[in-house]
């Protein structure tokens, strides 16, 4: 009985140590979450308006032909896969990878992994990696997003489609992995549910020096803005998922400690009762 009580006490100490870690991680995630949420609230209108603008450009592109706007002959697709740097965030990374696998099924693909978990996933699956220079999502800035965009534009002729796979922040308790097409623009128009060939729109905008040059100068900037918006959404989603997971883990640890304490007290009472019984029995024998 004494050995059993000692094992329970060691177990209680172990769970208490784990609970301290999960509580600390919950507090760290909560402190970072506020700033990340402010950033995503600031950049989300820009992200949404930018995507709508690209849709409008794609639908109204009747005057000129750019490699970024016309139907792609190459069916190979490049995914910008935005995952987290660490685990212990519930199903955050696993849900994103399931969304990516479902969308990429049957396609010839290459990836630009963003975040340590995305790099590990791509290497373990032996995927064709365009670049793995952006392995830490926490350290990425706007400049890094535009660098990714420029790399995609340089290599765009080697594949025909670009998609952004990230986790959309819905609320503190809900994060939704999505995959959205970002190049060519005709894919964006189709995503919106309208075929640009179905309705010809007269282009009333005059471009100087010409439409193609202006368009090809603007698209990398648009692309960088979209990627940065996806990164901001993913960062706040990861922090929210980790905070929720650590809060649940801390609650489970508290329940386990309560149950173990109850078991320990019962075992202790049983041990005391047994000792008293043995003393009384020995006294009666004398």
Which two structure tokens, joined as six digits, stand for 72? 């792609």
How confident is the model at residue 188, as a pLDDT?
63
Residue 168 has φ and ψ, to the nearest 5°, of -85, 130
- Is the separation of the CB atoms in 39 and 231 below 8 Å? no
Of 27, 137, 38, nearest in space to 82 by CA: 137
Which two structure tokens, joined as six digits, stand for 75? 């069916």
- Beta strands 161-171 and 77-82: pairing type? parallel
Dist CA 207 CA 250 (whole Å): 59
How confident is the model at residue 194, as a pLDDT?
52
How confident is the model at residue 199, as a pLDDT?
47
Which two structure tokens, joined as six digits, stand for 93? 């990374």
Of 156, 147, 213, nearest in space to 182 by CA: 156
How confident is the model at residue 54, as a pLDDT?
66
User: Assign residue 169 a region: left if phi > 0, alpha if psi is -120 to 50, beta otherwise?
Assistant: beta
How confident is the model at residue 62, as a pLDDT?
52
| pLDDT tens digits, 165-187 | 999 998 888 899 999 888 877 66
State which residues of the chain have pLDDT below 50: 195-202
How confident is the model at residue 156, as a pLDDT?
83
Query: What would the DSSP string read from start to end of 35-67?
Result: HHHHHHHHHHHHHHHHHHHHHHHHHH--S---T
Cβ neighbours of residue 199 under 8 Å, at least 6 residues apart?
Answer: 59
- Is the separation of the CB atoms in 129 and 96 below 8 Å? no
Which two structure tokens, joined as six digits, stand for 38? 């402010």
Which two structure tokens, joined as six digits, stand for 14? 């172990």
- Is the separation of the CB atoms in 274 and 1 below 8 Å? yes
Of 48, 12, 161, nearest in space to 4 by CA: 12
């Amino acid at each position: 009985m004494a050995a059993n009580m000692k094992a329970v006490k060691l177990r209680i100490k172990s769970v208490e140590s784990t609970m301290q870690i999960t509580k600390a991680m919950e507090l760290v995630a909560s402190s970072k979450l506020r700033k990340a949420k402010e950033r995503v609230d600031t950049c989300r209108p820009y992200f949404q308006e930018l995507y709508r603008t690209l849709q409008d450009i794609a639908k109204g592109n009747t005057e000129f032909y750019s490699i970024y706007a016309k139907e792609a002959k190459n069916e190979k697709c490049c995914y910008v896969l935005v995952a987290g740097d660490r685990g212990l965030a519930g199903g955050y990374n696993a849900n994103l990878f399931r969304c990516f696998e479902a969308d990429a099924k049957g396609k010839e693909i290459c990836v630009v992994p963003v975040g340590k978990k995305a790099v590990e996933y791509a290497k373990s699956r032996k995927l064709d990696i365009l670049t793995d220079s952006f392995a830490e999502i926490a350290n990425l800035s706007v400049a890094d997003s535009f660098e990714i965009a420029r790399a995609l534009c340089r290599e765009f002729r080697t594949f025909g489609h670009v998609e952004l796979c990230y986790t959309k922040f819905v609320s503190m308790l809900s994060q939704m992995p999505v995959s959205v097409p970002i190049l060519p623009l005709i894919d964006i128009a189709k995503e919106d549910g309208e075929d640009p060939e179905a309705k010809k729109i007269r282009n009333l905008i005059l471009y100087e020096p010409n439409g193609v040059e202006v368009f090809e100068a603007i698209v990398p900037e648009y692309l960088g803005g979209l990627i940065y918006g996806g990164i901001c959404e993913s960062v706040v989603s990861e922090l929210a998922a980790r905070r929720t997971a650590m809060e649940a883990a801390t609650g489970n640890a508290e329940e386990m400690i309560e149950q173990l304490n109850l078991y320990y007290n019962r075992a202790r009472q049983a041990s005391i009762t047994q000792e008293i019984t043995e003393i009384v029995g020995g006294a009666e024998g004398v």
